[in-house]
Amino acid sequence: MSPRQRQIGAIFGLTGPAYLWLAVTIFLPLSAMLYCSVLDTSPLVPQPAHFTLANYAAYFQKSFYWPLTKWSLQLGLWTTLFCFLIGYPAAYALAKKIKGRWREALFLLIVLPFWSNALVRIFSWTMVLRPNGLIDSALHWIFPQAPHLDILFSYPAVVIGLVHSYLPYMILTCYISLQAIDDSLMEAARSLGAAGWTVFRRVILPLSLPGVVSGSVLIFVPVIGSFMEPRILGGPRAVTLGMNIEEQFTVTSNWPLGAALSFTMLGIVLVFFLALYPVLKKRGAWA
């Protein structure tokens, strides 16, 4: 066997299992769901099904889908934005200002919440945010006459919960990017006459952009599909596209419609990535 053939064999052997797994769990299921989305009756029903685009048409025709989508998109954007605003400075502080043992310890502390149960964390926010909850009680302890806090079961509550859940992702990716920037680069910039803000704007920010982008992807994608957090923190009035899709599969058993809506959501995510593509291409955000 020539070295080249052996190499190809090794590549197949090493990557094969992973791809096979993904084929069975992601690619084939997506194809199956695509097929399901163009049927007119649910697979659960024994009737034969026919091809139809009605499910996709429904998205554009029924008036309530657009507000749902808007809500989900806004949720994704706000959450990502706040995670960036809060997380980037934290990552910068950790990467550049803290040294030694402390850095390791703080890093662990930031990562640790990943290990607590996401649902319990969300539910704990209800305990914190509700009237007579933690914040409310503390507020009244200081200002006994203040009105009751009524944040729970509202849009901000959902955003707070989501930001809290996904913040570590942003801190993590930004931290990895930032700590890879050699101090000598900043020193060089200063020696060439750049003041603090210019150094940040022209050296640090561009070099840490891959971290910001990866963090944004890790946050935006799950958030726009979320239904659990809006339901728990948003109360009965909260509706997102994700929640609607989930209902099609659990409550109404209208799988074709759910499938079509899922794919529409996927399309939205793809548009998001296409918008980001120039940045991704330039910076090679992948490893």
Partner 1 sequence: MSRAREGLANGAAKVYLAIVLLFLYVPIFTMAAMAFNASPLYELPFKFDLIWFKSLASNERLLRAGTNSLIIAIINTVIATVLGTAASLAFSRYRFRGRTLMQLLLLPPITIPWLVIGTAMLVFFFWVSNVPIIAETCRALLPAAYCAPRSIITILLGHVALSLPYVIIVVSARLADFPRSVEEAAATLGATPWQTFRRVSLPIIAPGMVAAALFAFATSFDQFVISYFLAPPGVTTLPVEIYTAIRKAFTPEINAISTIIIVISMSIMLITARFYKFGGER
Partner 2 sequence: MSQVEVIGAQKRYGALAALDNVSLNFVEGEFFGLLGPSGSGKTTLLRSIAGFIELDSGQVLLDGEDIGPIPVHKRDIGMVFQNYALFPHMTVFDNVAFGLSVRKMPRPEIKQRVDEILSLVRLAGLQERKPRQLSGGQQQRVALARALVTRPKVLLLDEPLGALDKHLREEMQV
* Span 223-282, contacts to partner 1 by CB under 8 A: 224-228, 231-232, 242, 245-246, 249, 255, 258-259, 262-263, 265-266, 269, 273
For the CB of residue 237, give the shortest distance to partner 1 in the complex, in Å.
16
Q: Where are the alpha helices (DSSP H) in the chain?
A: 3-22, 28-37, 54-61, 65-92, 100-111, 118-129, 134-142, 155-179, 183-191, 196-199, 205-224, 228-234, 241-250, 255-283
* β-bridge mates for residue 51, sequence order: 39
For the CB of residue 63, give the shortest distance to partner 1 in the complex, in Å.
22
Residue 264: CA count within 13 A, CB half-sphere:
26
For the CB of residue 282, give the shortest distance to partner 2 in the complex, in Å.
23
The number of residues in the chain equals 287
Binding residues for partner 2, rule CB under 8 A, total: 5
Residue 88 contacts which entry, partner 2, partner 1, none (Cβ below 5-8 A, type-dependent): none
- Residue number with CB closer to partner 1 (64 or 115): 115
Angle at which helix 205-224 crosses helix 255-283, to 10 degrees, equals 180
- One symbol per residue from 33 to 72: x for binding partner 1 (CB under 8 A), - otherwise; what is it? x--x------xx----------------------------
Confirm if 221 and 269 have CB atoms less than 8 A apart.
Answer: yes
- One symbol per residue from 88 to 127: x for binding partner 1 (CB under 8 A), - otherwise; what is it? -xx-xxx-xxx----xx-xxxxxxxxxxxxxxxxxxxx-x
Range in contact with partner 1 (rule: CB under 8 A) among 52-60, 148-156, 202-210, 217-225: 217-225
For 41, other C-beta atoms within 10 Å of its C-beta total 15
* Best CA proximity match to 86, nearest among 196, 204, 219: 219
φ and ψ at 39, to 5 degrees? Answer: -100, 155
For the CB of residue 3, give the shortest distance to partner 2 in the complex, in Å.
6
What residues between 155 and 184 interact with partner 1 by CB under 8 A?
Answer: 164, 167-168, 171, 175-176, 179-180
What residues between 225 and 254 interact with partner 2 by CB under 8 A?
Answer: none
Range in contact with partner 1 (rule: CB under 8 A) among 53-61, 62-70, 84-92, 202-210: 84-92
Dist. CA 139–CA 199, nearest whole Å: 42
What residues between 2 and 21 interact with partner 2 by CB under 8 A?
Answer: 2-4, 6
Dist. CA 14–CA 109, nearest whole Å: 35
For the CB of residue 230, give the shortest distance to partner 1 in the complex, in Å.
12
* Best CA proximity match to 124, nearest among 111, 110, 135, 109: 135
Can residue 198 be called a binding residue for partner 1 (CB under 8 A)?
no
